[in-house]
Amino acid sequence: MSTLLDQPTVQRSSSPSQRLRTTFAAVRIAFTWLGTRKTLTSEQKAQAADAFGAEEQFLSAGKKLLDTKHPAFKAVTGVRSRIVSLWKAMSLPYPEPGVRLIRQSQIDTFNEQLTLLQQELAEAVSQLDEHYTELKSAARERLGSLYDAGDYPACLEGLFQVAWDFPSVEPPEYLRRLNPDVYQQECERVASRFDEAVQLAEATFIEELQSLVSHLTERLSGQADGKPKVFRDSAVENLTQFFERFRELNIRSNEQLDELVDYCQHVVGGVEPQSLRDNNVLRQSMASELSQVQNVLDDLLVDRPRRNILRRPR
């Protein structure tokens, strides 16, 4: 038997926050992105207010400059979404806006993949630029008197870009020489940040696993019109991807979470989605196992102690 929540403390050579600090690096992504909405001028807003019999100062109004549902525009935003997804998939949260933590051993891989996506973005923007005249013509028809040619740049080159860097989050060394007291304060502040980063990482993993397990359990155990509910392959595949990412990014800060993920992986591992559709006994067995995982995760989310024992499936 293995207890998921009452495990003895294991002495380690370094704390989780220290391991995080020494094996990860900060990574930041920044986008340059053309705005597609613009607030109406005071005169235009006054006209709109008059049409509704409203007072201008209580009215907020804007206009959409381009059709963002156009396939060429969606291709551009699609690349941006993939960039953000890659960034988040390869990193852990950090308590500073726009900054996340990536394993130092993964920096080269991250650079290579971001460079490819950067090229894809440039190609997608080039394709969008070919439709730019068409999009402006459509906007002129839809906006009527609100259309203003001055709202539109001559071309889109350079207006959709991505950049990334690896900023230092450590106290600057020169501060040690200039003011040791302030330097010590900065050291304490950074240490506190990494302690918080460990907590953020744990919370992120717990919340994601809870969501994935809850969804699959509901699909496996629920019924619709007296028949088992339909579920997509992705309900299982997303869990498998989570296990891989957890193994890559885990800093071993929470033994209970480690064991819970390991248990869940044994429940799901090697099971094909089609087998769950064809074998009702297997389906119900997995639903029962996952419901135990879900109960523990629910308690972890509200930070309540629990004496729950789960047996690893054979």
Instruction: With H, G, I as helix, E, B as strand and everything else as coil, classify residue 199.
Output: helix
Average pLDDT over residues 3-23: 65
31: Cβ contacts below 8 Å, ≥ 6 apart: 80, 160, 161, 162, 163
pLDDT, one tens digit per residue, over 245-299 is 999 999 999 998 999 999 999 999 888 999 988 898 999 999 999 999 998 888 8
Percentage above 90 pLDDT, the chain: 71
Q: What is the pLDDT of residue 108?
A: 98
Please state the rounded mean pLDDT for residues 43-71.
83
In tens, the pLDDT along 73-124 reads 999 999 999 999 999 999 999 999 999 999 999 999 999 999 999 999 999 9
Dihedral in degrees, nearest 10, Cα atoms 238, 241, 242, 246: 180
Mean pLDDT throughout 163-167?
A: 97
Over residues 5-22, mean pLDDT: 67
Q: How many CB atoms are located within 10 Å of the residue 231 CB?
A: 18
Distance CA 132, CA 156 (A): 8
Residue percentage of the chain with pLDDT more than 70: 90
**Considering the entire predicted model, what is its pTM?**
0.84
Helices (H), 24-179: 42-52, 71-89, 107-130, 132-143, 173-178
The answer to whether the beta carbons of residues 206 and 257 sit under 8 Å apart is yes
Report domain extents, the chain.
25-165, 177-310
- SS3 of residue 310 by DSSP: strand
